[in-house]
Amino acid sequence: MSEPVTLGAMSPGQRARIVEIAAEAGGSDLHLRLYEMGFDEGVEVEILHRGPIGGDPIAVQVGGMVVAMRRRDAALVTVSPVVAPLAGGAREAAE
């Protein structure tokens, strides 16, 4: 197992397993919407793309869906990076 990081800190090509989804401070239901879109603990995600300005937002593959989200919101999601067995592109973030 690698050290948990937030989804917002990941780069394109990286894959990770969701550890926890936190509720946003201020009481918005954002975490609920993330669950409704298919994010959930134990589900594997992959960062596919990042925005051209400042690398924000990011595009995340979850199940059969690609979701665009801002890094700030992605920080609600704690993940454990998966060392991708694929050749090239993918590299581990921690350890």
Partner 1 sequence: MSAASLTATVAVVGNPNAGKTSLFNALTGARQKVGNYPGVTVERKAARLTLTDGRTVDLVDLPGAYSLNPRSPDEEVTRRVLLGAQAGEGRPAAMVCVVDATNLRNHLRFVLELKQLGLPMVVALNMIDLAERDGIRIDASRLQELLGVPVVTTVAVRRRGLDALLAELPGLIDTAAATAEPAVKADVRALNAQARAIAGQVLVSEGQGRKVTRAVDAAVLHPVAGPVILAAILFFMFQAVFAWAEAPMTWIEDGFAALAEWMASVLPDGLLLSLINDGIINGVGSVIVFLPQILILFFFIILLEQSGYMTRAAFMMDRLMAKVGLNGRAFIPLLSSFACAIPGIMATRTIDNPRDRLTTMMIAPLMTCSARLPVYTVIIAAFIPDRAVGGVFGLQGLVMFGLYVTGVLSALLVAWVLRRSVTKGASQTFLIEMPKYQLPVVRDVVLGLWQRALAFLKRAGTIIFATTVVLWVLASFPAPPENADKPAIEYSLVGRIGGALETVLKPIGFNRDIAIALVPGMAAREVAVSALGMMYSLEGDEDQVAMSLVDRLRSAWPLPTALAFLAWFVFAPQCFATLAVVRRETNSWKWMGFMMAYLFGLAYIAAGATYWISRAILGV
Q: Smallest distance, Å, CB 26 to partner 1?
A: 7
Looking at beta carbons only, is 2 or 75 nearer to partner 1?
A: 75
Name which position in 4, 13, 50, 78 contacts partner 1 (CB under 8 A). 50
Looking at beta carbons only, is 63 or 92 nearer to partner 1?
A: 63
Cα–Cα distance measured from residue 68 to residue 47, given in angstroms and rounded to the nearest whole number: 10
Question: Contact between 45 and partner 1 (CB under 8 A)?
Answer: no
Cα–Cα distance measured from residue 17 to residue 28, given in angstroms and rounded to the nearest whole number: 24
- Looking up tokens 């603990």 gives 41
CA angle 29, 45, 58 (to 5 degrees): 70
Q: Which two tokens stand for residue 16?
A: 């990770």
Residues contributing to the site for partner 1 (CB under 8 A): 26, 28-30, 32-38, 40-41, 43, 48-57, 59, 61-70, 72-73
